[in-house]
């Protein structure tokens, strides 16, 4: 049982390059999330998907796009990377069952944009 997996773990881009961050979960959860984490700040939500086939903007969606490929996979795309997008990106899936509400996080992707 792998939980939430993310690829790649590290990435260096030049300004203007594009890339896709991959995320997959094997827990059959409906909801999935993309966050970024910057020093001294809380996790900030980029996009989320409440269920397969739906996606919605979070707090900081500009410069990003997402695809909920199927129930397992939720990808984040940077079309034209900027230095301000240097960050650690986390994918999470959510279990909501009765009184249990838990997000499970992947190990993160550390992205540097030069």
- Residue 92: closest CA among 107, 82, 81, 79: 107
* Residue 26 touches another protein, criterion: CB under 8 A: no
**Residue 92 in contact with residue 35, Cβ under 8 Å?**
yes
Nearer to another protein, 42 or 53 (CB): 42
Which of 11, 44, 65, 72 is the binder for another protein (CB under 8 A)? 44
Stretch that binds another protein, among 14-22, 63-71, 74-82, 92-100 (CB under 8 A): 92-100
CB of residue 22 to another protein, shortest distance in Å: 15
CA-to-CA distance for 84 and 54, rounded, in angstroms? Answer: 27
Q: Choose which of 2, 62, 98, 99 interacts with another protein (CB under 8 A).
A: 99
Cβ contacts of residue 99 below 8 Å, gap of 6+? none
**Whole-angstrom distance, CA of residue 48 vs CA of residue 70:** 14
Question: Site residues (CB under 8 A) for another protein?
Answer: 4, 31, 40-45, 48, 50, 56, 58-59, 90, 92, 94, 99-108
């Amino acid at each position: 049982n792998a939980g939430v997996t993310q690829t790649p773990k590290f990435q260096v881009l030049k300004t203007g390059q594009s890339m896709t961050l991959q995320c997959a979960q094997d827990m059959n959860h409906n909801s999935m999330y993309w966050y970024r984490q910057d020093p001294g700040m809380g996790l900030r939500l980029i996009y989320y998907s409440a269920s397969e086939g739906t996606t919605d903007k979070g707090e900081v969606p500009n410069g990003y796009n997402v695809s909920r490929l199927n129930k397992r996979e939720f990808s984040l795309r940077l079309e034209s990377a900027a230095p301000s997008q240097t960050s650690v990106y986390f994918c999470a899936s959510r279990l909501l069952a009765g009184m249990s509400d838990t997000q499970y996080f992947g190990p993160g992707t550390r992205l540097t944009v030069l």
